[in-house]
Amino acid sequence: MILNLPPIILASKSPRRHELLKLMGLDFSVVLKDVDESYPDGLSPIDVALFIAEKKASAFDETINKEIVITADTIVCINEKIIGKPKNKEHAFEILSSLSGKKHEVITAVGLLKDHQLYSFYEVSEVYFKNLTSEQIHHYISTGQPMDKAGAYGVQEWIGLIGIEKINGSYHNVVGLPTHRLYQELYNLSIGK
């Protein structure tokens, strides 16, 4: 199933999402809008991710013509508690220490806007970290890589390579985009489902 799609706008500055769409063989342009990512109290982590991804997509509703807009929001949580991006190196250490030796969930919600219709979906992956030593955590933080990522790590980076024992669910979802599901949803849009 090869996609026959109108122009695609990716509303994300994430280099990881850019790379994944390129690897999927999709042509796209990147357009960014400032969107307030706050959300109502009391939402579950899945609902938070969906709320933000949909909010990002809705920001394009009045400016698109035939394009498809792709937005995404990735949330890391442990025991239903959302773990955001680290505020500083000490916070990064605290986050990574809390993930050490435990299972956590990565939720990526995707918003698709086409013909002023909003479609959204999400995927959940379970990630299992081995016990990390303080030395390993400090080494990773010294690279600066954790600072712009939810959960303070990138699965494709050093800490992921040496620390993640297994993943239940989509690996690419943990990177930041559930590519297999996105491809299917884009295909459904292309045939008018």
- Which residues are catalytically annotated? 73
Q: What are phi and psi of 86, to 5 degrees?
A: -70, 145
List beta partners, residue 72. Answer: 110
CA atoms within 13 A on the CB side of 24: 24
Q: State whether residue 92 is helix, strand or coil.
A: helix
In 3D, which of 36, 134, 34 has the Cα closest to residue 90?
Answer: 134
In 3D, which of 18, 22, 19 has the Cα closest to residue 31?
Answer: 18
The Cα 72–Cα 110 span in angstroms is 4
